[in-house]
Amino acid sequence: MAESVSSSFQYNPPVAVLEVRDLHVSFGKTEILRGVSLDLEAGKTLGVVGESGCGKSQTGFAIMGMLQNPGRVTRGSIKLDGQELVGLGERKLQGIRGDGIALVMQDPFTSLNPMMRVGEQIAEALRLHRGMDKRQAAAESIRMLERVGVPAPEASARKYPHQMSGGQRQRVVIGIAFACQPKVLIADEPTTALDVTLQAQILRLLRELQETTGVAVMLVSHDIGAIAAVSERIAVFYAGRVVEIGPAADVLRRASMPYTRALLNALPRAGMTHLEAIGGQPPDFAHLPTGCAFAPRCPLRFAKCEEEPGLLLVEAGHAAACWRAQEVAAMPIGKTLTQEEAEKPL
Q: For residue 163, count other CB atoms closer than 10 A to its CB.
A: 12
Please state the pTM of the whole predicted model: 0.90
Measured CA to CA, the distance from residue 131 to residue 134 in angstroms comes to 10
Quick one: pLDDT at residue 2? 47
**Where are any strands of DSSP class E within the chain?**
16-27, 30-41, 45-49, 71-80, 83-84, 101-104, 184-188, 216-221, 233-238, 241-247, 312-315, 318-320
Count, in order, helices (H) and strands (E) of the chain.
12, 12
Quick one: pLDDT at residue 4? 47
End-to-end alpha-carbon separation of the chain, Å? 9
String of DSSP letters for 301-312: --GGGGS---BE
Quick one: pLDDT at residue 225? 83
Residue 79 CB-half CA count within 13 A: 14
Ordered by start, the domain boundaries in the chain are 254-269+278-346
Assess contact for 268 and 275: CB atoms under 8 A. yes
- pLDDT 10s digits, 233-285: 999 999 999 999 999 999 999 999 999 999 998 887 666 666 677 888 899 99
Q: At what angle do helices 134-147 and 166-179 cross, to 10 degrees?
A: 130
**CA-based max dimension of the chain:** 71
Quick one: pLDDT at residue 344? 58
Task: Enumerate residue ranges in the chain where pLDDT < 50.
Answer: 1-5, 7, 339
Measured CA to CA, the distance from residue 123 to residue 242 in angstroms comes to 38
Closest by CA to 321, choosing from 236, 252, 263, is 236
Q: For residue 13, count other CB atoms closer than 10 A to its CB.
A: 17
Assess contact for 266 and 309: CB atoms under 8 A. no
